[in-house]
Amino acid sequence: MSAQNVKLEVGQMAPDFDLPAAGGGRISLADLAGAPALIWFYPAANTPLCTTQACDLRDNYDMFTDAGYRIVGISPDPIEDIETFVEKQNLPFTMAGDESHEVMAAYGAWGMKNMYGRQVEGTIRSTFAIDAEGRLTFVKYRVGTPKHIAVLREKLVL
């Protein structure tokens, strides 16, 4: 199965996952049951655009928690790199690693993308909102970092 063929849509059930989390332990879709959640996939910890995106979410964290959302960030990085990222940027939400790319592929967040004029396989910056039952309520592929918070505020009515 080719990862770029998977494209999720609002109304579908979110794919299950179970990943190692920064700070120890694991995070799974089951852990998010009972409240809405925001899951965002990003290419690499400690890179400029990913840091901007993470810090924007951090700086607007109260807006999400006030609406009952939990936030989970997922990248293909080793968990040690993600832990450094969390500490360096003081990120208050769960950050997990998907080194196998299996979860990213299930969400359609892993596949071919254009990078500096070349086709490469990698993380497709994507964001998903799920409801308390695990159903997708928002799906956005190829997220534009500068507009990420504004789009979420509008689409999730925060």
| Rounded distance between C-alpha atoms, residue 81 and residue 70, angstroms | 22
C-alpha to C-alpha distances, 34 to 65, 99, 107, 130, nearest whole angstrom:
14, 27, 20, 10
Pick from 120, 118, 123: nearest CA to 105: 123
Helix then strand then coil, in percent of the chain rounded to 5, is 35, 30, 35
Whether residue 50 lies in the annotated active site: yes
Which helix H or strand E contains 66, and what residues bound it?
helix 61-66
Catalytic position from the list 32, 50, 57, 105: 50
Amino acid 88 reads K
Which residues have a catalytic role annotated? 50
